[in-house]
Structure 1
Amino acid sequence: MIYFVGAGSGAPDLITVRGARLLSEADVIVYAGSLVNPALLDYKKDGCEVYNSAKMTLEEVIAVMAPAAKAGKTVVRLHTGDPCVYGAHREQMDELDRLGLAYEVCPGVSSFCGAAAALKAEYTLPNVSQSVILTRMEGRTPVPEKEQIESFAAHGATMVIFLSAGQLARLSERLIAGGYAPDTPAAIVYKATWPDEKVVRTTVADLAEAGAREGITKTALITVGGFLGTEYERSKLYDPTFTTEFREASR
């Protein structure tokens, strides 16, 4: 069996219980070495074969996993965060389908969740934002025409922007062009939940200056929106004047 496992956002103890068990049982581990905390390899057993996919192509990854699985070995493909977000695991699963090989997916804690924890923030605040947009800037690889930063910024919702820390000046311009006010709160979260985690609070207008000041050019998420501010309405969920399925309003 081949298991696609989410490594979590960085800290080795933020992998799921299931993910840690699968790592400890694996005969072969192929891990995303450019992003996954290598401390997670401490879960592996003696004799486990380990491959760093940062130096491999899709074809080379499959060439390692497929023979091992056919030989009855347990294979873990270890992805950063949760593999469903910028994990490029769909193309691997399609190849395994073509080869008739079984696989399962073990979810992980995405870095956008780790970033919220680092910020001690809630992305969905009543009367501020009830939607979270996960996206990225186009770089060497494009994004669909309808998914440009400006079109998402027009919603005024919470935004979490991946893979864009090296383009902060352009990102700032495009967020403002899309509709965010220059003084909209923003934050750069570098390596969320890692030992060297860094949180930089700023505004949309000052993203580039803040990133340059802290020397952050990669491995960071940019969060944008009013959820980083101080104004919001109390949730109805725990409001004593609000009746729910489980309790009557007290007054």
Structure 2
Amino acid sequence: MTVYFIGAGPGAADLITVRGQRTLAACGVCLYAGSLVPRELLDACPPDARLVDTARLDLDRITEELVRAHEEGHDVARLHSGDPAVFSAVAEQMRRLDAAGVPYEVVPGVPAFAAAAAALKRELTVPTVGQTVILTRVAQQATPMPEGEDLATLGRSGALLVLHLAARYVDRVVEELLPHYGADCPAAVVAMASRPDELVLRGTLADIATQVKEAGVIRTAVIMVGRTLAAQQFPDSYLYSTGRPRA
């Protein structure tokens, strides 16, 4: 039997992949984060599937549920919001499954930053303006950031920064990025991306913190800072250039 780590997508129930939905429909057990995963997704589970909300479970208890289901001969769907590749805490679960001899696979999902970009109607990589996107977070009441991955260091690149789990600390984000990006640098915050209550805030480093606090945004949000968010004057991509050599 196999544990499937499935990316549930950013929030909208119809943004799960076809593979993810089909895998859900074939698993006798489903573990999901009730505070983040839309309940409608569970409709794809078999009618007699055992559903386990992991919102109040620690890692030991989650691992016990996964191992128990495996021992009982069930395939397991482990639903994670967004995509398992980023800030999903699947690495420690995989490590424990390796130790227990339980096989697993990963089904990718739509990440939150992609849903946020869609809400903003922006491409994050724009020719001659910015071709690098940095996905990161801040270390505040969470695991410390590795050396060299603090905002001040990352900000020196001038690349588009996408911050997860940071809306509550927006003042600190602005303070650390201002010296590198300037007060006029475009910034945006998308909360509840792709959901019915989605909220989009657009501004600059000079005013985005005020907007976030006035809107009461403290969680389930992505902060973006970078010039590509408002780029207008840029050349067409070489991909479609009439002067591009043809094979």
Same fold (TM over 0.5): yes
Following TM superposition, by how much is the alpha carbon of 1:213 offset from its aligned partner in structure 2, in angstroms?
Answer: 1.9
Q: With the length of structure 1 as denominator, give the TM-score of the two structures.
A: 0.94
Task: Report the Cα offset of residue 25 of structure 1.
Answer: 1.5
Looking at structure 1, the residues matched to 135 and 49 of structure 2 have their Cα atoms a distance apart, in angstroms, of 35
The answer (yes or no) to whether the contact 1:185–1:202 under 8 Å persists in 2 is yes
For residues 7 and 173 of structure 2, the distance between their equivalents in structure 1, rounded to whole angstroms, comes to: 28
Using the alignment, how far apart are the partners of 2:132 and 2:229 within structure 1?
A: 14
CA contact (8 A) 1:36 1:80 kept: yes
Q: How many residues align?
A: 244
Q: What's 1:222 paired with?
A: 223
Structure 1: distance between partners of 2:98 and 2:219? 34
State the match for 2:139 in structure 1: 138
CA distance in 1, matches of 2:62, 2:211: 38
Alpha-carbon shift at residue 128 of structure 1 (Å): 0.7
Shift of residue 47, structure 1, vs aligned partner: 1.5
> What 5-or-longer segments of structure 1 have no aligned partner?
246-251
Partner of 1:31 in structure 2?
A: 32
Question: Which sections of structure 2, spanning at least 5 residues, go unmatched?
Answer: none
- Aligned partner of 2:171 in structure 1 is 169
Provide the residue aligned with 2:162 in structure 1.
160
Matches within 5 A, 1:1-251: 1-141=2-142, 142-177=144-179, 179-229=180-230, 230-245=232-247
Between 226-235 and 147-156, report the one with greater CA deviation.
226-235
Identity %: 43
TM-score, L = length of structure 2 = 0.96
Aligned residue number for residue 249 of structure 1 = none
- Per the TM alignment, residue 71 of structure 1 is displaced from its structure 2 partner at its CA by 1.5
CA distance in 2, matches of 1:86, 1:208: 23
Q: Is the 8 A contact 1:169 1:207 kept in 2?
A: no
- Work out whether residues 191 and 220 of structure 1, in 8 Å CA contact, stay in contact via their aligned partners in 2: yes
Kindly report the root-mean-square deviation, in angstroms, between the aligned alpha carbons of the 2 structures. 1.0
> Following the alignment from structure 2 to structure 1, what is the Cα–Cα distance between the partners of residues 95 and 35?
23
CA contact (8 A) 1:136 1:161 kept: yes
Aligned residue for 1:248? none
Q: Deviations over 1:164-186 (max 9, x none)?
A: 00011111001113x01111001
Tell me, in whole angstroms, the C-alpha distance in 2 between the residues paired with 1:69 and 1:232: 54
Distance in 1, matches of 2:89 and 2:243, equals: 47
Question: How far 1:37 sits from its partner (Å)?
Answer: 1.7
Three-state SS of the structure 1 residue aligned to 2:55 is helix
Q: How much does 1:219 deviate? A: 0.7
Cα displacement string for residues 6-38 of structure 1 (whole angstroms, at most 9, x for unaligned residues): 001111111011100111112111112222222
Output one character per residue of 1:46-87: Cα deviation in whole Å (capped at 9) or x when no partner: 111111111001110011110111221111110011011001
Q: CA deviation at 1:104?
A: 0.6
Report the secondary structure of 1:146's partner residue.
coil
Q: 1:228 Cα shift?
A: 1.1
